[in-house]
Amino acid sequence: MINKVTRQKASHQVLAQLKEGISNGTFPVGEKLPSENLLAEAFGVSRVPVREALGILEVSGIISSRQGGGHRVEQHSLLSKYQPLVLEIADPDEVEALLEMREVIEQQAACMAAERHTEQELRAIELALNDFKHCTLDEGLIGHREDYLFHRAIMQASHNPFFVQILDNMHELYLGVLVYSLSKNLGRQDERQRVIDEHQRVFMAIKARDPAAATAAMQNHLSNVRGKLRRLDHEELG
């Protein structure tokens, strides 16, 4: 049974009820989940918190996206999947703290990538950027995995293995925060285009081997992400 959500953060409640429905067999393994529109109507919320919750379940391997739309429940051990579900729906303070760390590390990574990248590494960044653009322009996709791979390619091009190691060690947490952030852009085409433009500026600065411009572009991008989340979280709770 699905219950209407209350004043508590909507995405937390949507995720909790979806997990419970998968656990008790309401949503059986191998079957498609109801559409986002049907879930949003049942929960009494917009599609944004529904997509946010679905994104976390997908990152955790509990559901998968289906070609042509929709999600299917995957075979899984509830104990093995739910216990390490690192982020679920991120606490805004945790997201803020992670973004602070990202600003420090990724500004330096972008600077070093501008100085040190090979042509092969530049091509990898460009391919990741193009994949991210494709997903971001599709209203049905969040693009969190593609965003992750773009930033990881930049860290690889920095030629500092510790940057990549830090990112890989935080893989699930990082993906969860990307879901949290990018899902806020769903239905906001201006925000989605802004993120594309910011990624493009980072890439162009790295391609031009301009460390100062690459640093500034990455700082601007992550600062804008933090500002957007503060604003939208305030609106959601207001």
Same domain, 26 and 107: no
pLDDT band at 7 (very low <50, low <70, confident <90, very high): very low
Decide if 56 contacts 62 (C-beta within 8 A): no
Report the chain's C-alpha Rg in angstroms.
18
Q: Tell me phi and psi for residue 72, to 5 degrees.
A: -120, 140
pLDDT of 217 higher than 70:
yes
Tell me the pLDDT tens digit for each residue of 166-215.
888 877 777 777 877 777 777 778 888 999 999 999 999 999 999 999 99
Same domain, 107 and 211: yes
**Contacts for 171 with CB less than 8 Å, ≥ 6 apart:** 148
Closest alpha carbon to 67 in 163, 148, 5, 140: 140
Q: Is residue 18 part of a domain?
A: yes
Among 57, 82, 107, the domain boundary falls at 82
Q: Give me the pLDDT at residue 209, please.
A: 98
- Show the beta-strand stretches assigned E in 37-91: 63-65, 71-73
Q: Please give the model's pTM, rounded to 2 decimal places.
A: 0.65
Domain containing 73 equals: 10-82
Same domain, 106 and 72: no
Domain count, the chain: 2
Among 82, 112, 137, the domain boundary falls at 82
Q: Percent of the chain, pLDDT > 90?
A: 34
CB atoms within 10 A of CB 194: 15
